[in-house]
């Protein structure tokens, strides 16, 4: 069965809300990460390979891998949240399955269960070299929906 969310696109309002929030993240900007796909309950973030995001053996650093996985899951959840709310990570667990080497890595966050307060997401990170994708990390995350402070509305 093919995953429909891979072809869906979020509404223009949600796209703008997600991209605007992502653009305010200093860490994602610092790492050089970018949004690649935003769909209801699913977000892809790409991180190009460059020396600043690698560790001593030349692989993508686990911190960079984990950071984009966390953001992909957070924004996947945020696509399903109403206006005037925000998202925060409560916890996440990531398993590093293989050294990440390639042209870039791609984190995919997918909502497994969206609730009124808590949302659970699946996290996957793939190393991409040319047209080959290899799963290098996977995990699970819990996020909380909070009301946006009145001063930000």
- Read off the pLDDT of residues 110-143 as tens digits, 9 standing for 90 and up: 999 999 999 999 999 999 999 899 999 999 999 9
Paired residues of 86 in beta bridges: 146
DSSP 54: B
Q: Per CATH, which fold does 4-148 belong to? A: Thiol Ester Dehydrase; Chain A (3.10.129)
Range list of β-strands (E), 1-117: 34-39, 42-48, 85-96, 104-114
Instruction: Give the residue-averaged pLDDT of 44-54.
Output: 97
Computed over every residue of the chain, the mean pLDDT equals: 93
Q: 150: pLDDT confidence band, cut at 50, 70 and 90?
A: confident
pTM of the shown model: 0.92
Distance of alpha carbon 5 from its chain centroid, rounded? Answer: 15
Tell which wins on pLDDT, 8 or 64: 64
Cα–Cα distances (Å) from 88 to 32, 38, 117, 135, in that order, read: 21, 18, 11, 26
- What does the domain layout of the chain look like in residue ranges? 4-148
Pairing of strands 104-114, 34-39: unpaired
């Amino acid at each position: 069965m093919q995953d429909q969310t891979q072809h869906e696109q979020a509404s223009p309002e949600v796209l703008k809300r997600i991209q605007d929030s992502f653009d305010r993240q200093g860490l994602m900007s610092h790492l050089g990460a970018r949004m690649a796909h935003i769909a209801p309950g699913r977000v892809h973030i790409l991180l190009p390979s460059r020396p600043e995001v690698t560790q001593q053996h030349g692989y993508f650093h686990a911190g960079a891998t984990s950071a984009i996985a966390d953001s992909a899951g957070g924004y996947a959840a945020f696509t399903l949240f109403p206006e005037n709310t925000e998202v925060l990570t409560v916890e996440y667990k990531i398993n590093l399955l293989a050294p990440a080497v390639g042209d870039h890595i791609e984190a995919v966050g997918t909502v497994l269960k969206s609730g009124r307060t808590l949302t659970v997401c699946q996290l996957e990170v793939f190393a991409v070299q040319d047209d080959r994708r290899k799963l290098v990390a996977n995990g699970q995350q819990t996020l909380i929906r909070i009301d946006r402070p009145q001063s930000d509305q």
